[in-house]
């Protein structure tokens, strides 16, 4: 069983996955389509890109970052999520009895269109704009117009222990940087709830902590200047390659617009 399964490999899901995987949690992202950001024509309000960036290139780079962190990917639309415990035959234990409470510590099973069921101890829903698969879990959703939003607390936890929601699906404002920031925050909540020690995910120069006779805190790393330069060389090479040519694909048009 995986530590975390993230439904939705868009902006929020990818950001969450980078954090959980870097914290050492076994992380799977399941995606059944494409991020709505693929419809963008030029991403110009995402900090760090002074003249904007092609949204498809941004998504590909973020996927690469997640893969580098150890995230695994699976293609497929999730159709149903339920507690593992609810699969236990009725009568074999209390939780399986009609009306009994499933033991959510056992984790969750995700059914996908045409694929094998997937299981994970914790589940992050980052699947704007579909959350129908969460109905059996009764996480609490609100409807506005044709859209459903999943209700969460400040850290992205739903009413069901072990189930979280991130990004636009959690009713965050509809911008990429907000979705990414929320995904990261929800990733940190999952890390916290997994009882990993107090966690920053910082890389500091050699001596930053140890030069003050402090231990390097959990989730932090000190690197010397040589290592810093090596990492910078690699980072520049990756970006140079990624930006060498324009992206071939055009933005995805709204499904109701006839392009011909
Ligand atoms: C035309 C357009 C232009 C935009 N331009 C900008 C802009 O310039 N700047 C800006 O900041 N924002 C822009 N946005 C908004 C931005 O794209 C979103 O706010 C952001 O992508 C939301 O991130 P998210 O992770 O919540 O959702 P998404 O990025 O859409 O990711 C959701 C993912 O979940 C997957 N998914 C859904 N249901 C399932 C399921 N059942 N099983 C498995 N996977 C599933 C989808 O395939 C998708 O990959 C634009 C949006 C549009 C439509």
Is residue 93 over pLDDT 50? Answer: no
User: Is-contact 232 213, C-beta < 8 A?
Assistant: no
Nearest residue CA, atom 36 of ligand 1? 127
Which of the two residues, 97 and 249, has the higher pLDDT score? 249
Higher pLDDT, 12 or 105: 12
Q: What is the full DSSP assignment across the chain?
A: -EEEEEE--SHHHHHHHHHHHHTT--EEEEESS--GGGG-S-B-SSTT-TT-B-HHHHHHHHHHHHHHHT-EEEE--EEEEEEGGGGSPTTSSGGGSTTPPP-GGG-EEEEETTS--EEEEEEEE--TT--GGGGGGT--EEEETTEEEE---TTSB-SSTTEEE-GGGGT--S-HHHHHHHHHHHHHHHHHHTT--S---EEEETTTTGGGT-PPPTTEEEE-HHHHHHHHHHHHHHHHHHTSS---PPPPPPTTS---
Query: By the 8 A CB rule, do 27 and 4 touch?
Result: yes
Ligand 1 contact via 147 beta carbon (within 6 Å): no
Q: Is 42 in the pocket of ligand 1 (CB under 6 A)?
A: no
How far, in Å, is the centroid of ligand 1 from the Cα of 11? 7
77 lines ligand 1 (CB under 6 A): yes
pLDDT value at residue 196? 86
What is the reported pTM? 0.94
Q: What is the pLDDT of residues 113-124, one digit of tens each?
A: 988 999 999 999
Q: Is 126 exposed, middle or buried (0-12, 13-18, 19+ CB in 10 A)?
A: buried
Determine whether the shortest distance from the Cβ of 39 to ligand 1 is under 6 A.
Answer: yes
Going by alpha carbons, the residue nearest to atom 11 of ligand 1 is 175
Q: Whose CA is nearest to atom 35 of ligand 1?
A: 8
Return the ligand 1 atom nearest residue 40 CA: 3
- Cβ burial, residue 75 (10 Å; 0-12/13-18/19+): middle
Summarised one tens digit per residue, pLDDT across range 47-62 is 999 999 999 999 999 9
Least confident span in 7-16, 72-81, 113-122, 190-199: 190-199
Q: Which of 56, 174, 183 to mutate to test the pocket of ligand 1 (most atoms within 8 A of CB)?
A: 174
Q: What's the mean pLDDT in 223-235?
A: 98
Tell me the mean pLDDT in the region 164-187: 98
User: Which ligand 1 atom is nearest residue 33's CA?
Assistant: 47
Tokens of 219: 């989730």
What is the C-alpha separation between 28 and 6, in angstroms, rounded?
Answer: 6
Q: What is the mean pLDDT of residues 86-98?
A: 48
Banded pLDDT at 87 (limits 50, 70, 90)? low
Q: Decide if pLDDT at 90 tops 50.
A: no
**How sure is the predictor about 85, in pLDDT bands with cuts at 50, 70 and 90?**
confident
Residue nearest to atom 13 of ligand 1 (CA): 175
> Can you give the pLDDT at residue 260?
65
Rounded Cα gap, residues 77 and 63, in angstroms: 18
CB 105 within 8 A of CB 1: no
Give nearest CA residue, ligand 1 atom 37. 127
For residue 162 the two structure tokens come to: 């072990």
* Segment among 100-104, 177-181, 202-206 with least mean pLDDT: 100-104
Instruction: Give distance in angstroms: CA of 178 to centre of ligand 1.
Output: 11
| Domains of the chain (ranges, CATH numbers) | 2-196 (3.50.50.60), 204-260 (no CATH)
């Amino acid at each position: 069983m995986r530590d975390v399964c993230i439904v939705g490999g868009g902006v929020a899901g990818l950001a969450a996955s980078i954090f959980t995987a870097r914290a050492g949690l076994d992380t799977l992202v399941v995606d059944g389509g494409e991020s709505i950001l693929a419809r963008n024509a030029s991403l110009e309000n995402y900090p760090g890109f002074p003249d904007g960036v092609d949204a498809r290139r941004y998504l590909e780079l973020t996927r690469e970052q997640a893969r580098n962190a150890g995230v695994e990917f699976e293609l497929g639309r999730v159709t149903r999520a339920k507690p593992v415990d609810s699969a236990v035959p009725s009568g074999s234990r209390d939780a399986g009895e009609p009306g009994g409470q499933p033991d959510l510590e056992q984790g969750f099973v995700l059914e996908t269109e045409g694929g094998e069921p997937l299981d994970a101890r914790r589940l992050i829903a980052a699947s704007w704009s579909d959350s129908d698969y969460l109905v059996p879990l009764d996480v609490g959703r609100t409807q506005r117009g044709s859209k459903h939003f999943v209700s969460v607390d400040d850290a992205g936890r739903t009413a069901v222990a072990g189930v979280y929601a991130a990004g636009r699906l959690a009713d965050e404002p509809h911008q990429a940087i907000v979705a990414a920031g929320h995904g990261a925050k929800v990733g940190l909540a999952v890390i916290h709830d997994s009882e990993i020690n107090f966690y920053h995910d910082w890389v500091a120069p050699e001596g930053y902590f140890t030069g003050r006779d402090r231990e390097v805190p959990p989730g932090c790393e000190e690197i010397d200047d040589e290592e810093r330069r090596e990492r910078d060389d690699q980072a520049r090479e990756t970006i140079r390659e990624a930006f060498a040519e324009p992206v071939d694909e055009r933005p995805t048009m709204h499904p109701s617009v006839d392009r011909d």
